[in-house]
């Protein structure tokens, strides 16, 4: 199933894609794709329903929202691609590097990215996103982890490097500006997506910046979910950004940070693309 949401900010409606260009609304079954509804069995309600009775609509011209609404947590894994760690001049970490982003920086896949006032170090980071499907806490092994995943989407983990690196403290300061996490365009449920070796890429104004595969992950999908569950409770709808590959703006000499007016295209094989304009 390919889960999606459409509508202007504050008026989004839950939907399911039936083709690349058409979808059906499912708000006769659930209120939204969010934690409360997922905890109440939203996925199985929609999966078992006869959606052929619903009128399809063309998605062209509609605003696409993030495929999940108001997640409890937006968790990120840093330095999780071997080549990205190398370009950052850092040794691959012995355990996952974990940080958080403010959940309300989550926006739709094609919404504008707002560069903060006076920022000269706003960066892009394509990332595969895990979406949790059921409560996970103290999982006993990595082998259990996939059972707790609803599906996968794509995030653009926008980062302000000055606040992230040069200002002392947690990375969250450089990660949580408004609009700093476009996500989408869909959530592909785990029964229809194999995440372990897919292409991830990002272009800026048509120039290829990032182009890698998730097979370069230092810590894989199952390990990440198991590891996080050892010290925090994961809830349905929680989003986990799994890390970005090499080619970020910070890694170039000279650096290639984002400027207002640029177009960032982010893509993951099997999920789709999203296009964001910087303002």
How far apart (Å, rounded) are the C-alpha atoms in residues 145 and 163? Answer: 33
Is pLDDT above 90 for 62?
yes
How far apart (Å, rounded) are the C-alpha atoms in residues 134 and 149? Answer: 7
| The predicted structure's pLDDT at residue 128 | 98
Q: How many CA atoms lie within 13 A of 21 on its CB side?
A: 3
pTM: 0.96
Q: Where are the domains of the chain?
A: 2-58, 74-277
Average pLDDT, rounded, for the chain: 96
3-state DSSP call for residue 57? strand
DSSP, res 220: -
List the CATH code of the domain at 74-277: 3.90.850.10
Mean pLDDT of 72-99: 88
Confidence at 212, pLDDT banded by 50, 70, 90 = very high
| The predicted structure's pLDDT at residue 166 | 84
CA distances from 160 to 35, 236, 251, 257 (A): 29, 28, 14, 9
Is pLDDT above 80 for 168?
no
219: nearest Cα among 229, 210, 227, 208: 227
How far apart (Å, rounded) are the C-alpha atoms in residues 215 and 83? Answer: 11
Confidence at 262, pLDDT banded by 50, 70, 90 = very high
Is pLDDT above 90 for 170?
no
């Amino acid at each position: 199933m390919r889960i999606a949401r459409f509508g202007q900010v504050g008026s989004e409606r839950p939907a399911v894609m039936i083709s690349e260009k058409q979808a059906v609304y499912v708000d006769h079954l659930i209120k939204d794709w969010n934690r409360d509804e997922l905890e109440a069995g939203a996925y199985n309600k929609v999966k078992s329903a006869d959606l052929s009775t619903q009128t399809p609509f063309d998605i062209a011209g509609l605003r696409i929202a993030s495929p999940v609404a108001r997640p409890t947590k937006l968790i990120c894994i840093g330095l999780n691609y071997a080549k990205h760690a190398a370009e950052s001049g850092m040794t691959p970490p012995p355990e996952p590097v974990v940080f958080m982003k403010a959940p309300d920086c989550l926006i739709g896949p094609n919404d504008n990215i707002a560069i903060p006032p006076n920022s000269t170090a706003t960066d892009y980071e394509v990332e595969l996103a895990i979406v949790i499907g059921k409560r996970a806490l103290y999982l006993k092994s990595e082998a259990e982890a996939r059972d707790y995943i609803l599906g996968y989407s794509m995030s653009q983990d926008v980062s302000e490097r000055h606040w992230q690196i040069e200002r002392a403290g947690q990375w969250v300061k450089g990660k949580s500006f408004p609009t700093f996490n476009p996500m989408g365009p869909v959530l592909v449920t785990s029964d229809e997506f194999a995440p372990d070796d897919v292409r991830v890429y990002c272009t800026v104004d048509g120039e290829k910046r990032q182009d890698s595969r998730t097979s370069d992950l230092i810590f894989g999908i199952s390990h990440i979910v198991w590891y996080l569950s050892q010290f925090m409770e994961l809830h349905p709808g929680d989003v986990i950004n799994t890390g970005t590959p090499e080619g970020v703006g910070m890694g170039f000499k000279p650096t290639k940070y984002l400027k207002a007016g640029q177009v960032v295209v982010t893509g993951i094989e099997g999920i789709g693309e999203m296009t964001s304009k910087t303002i």
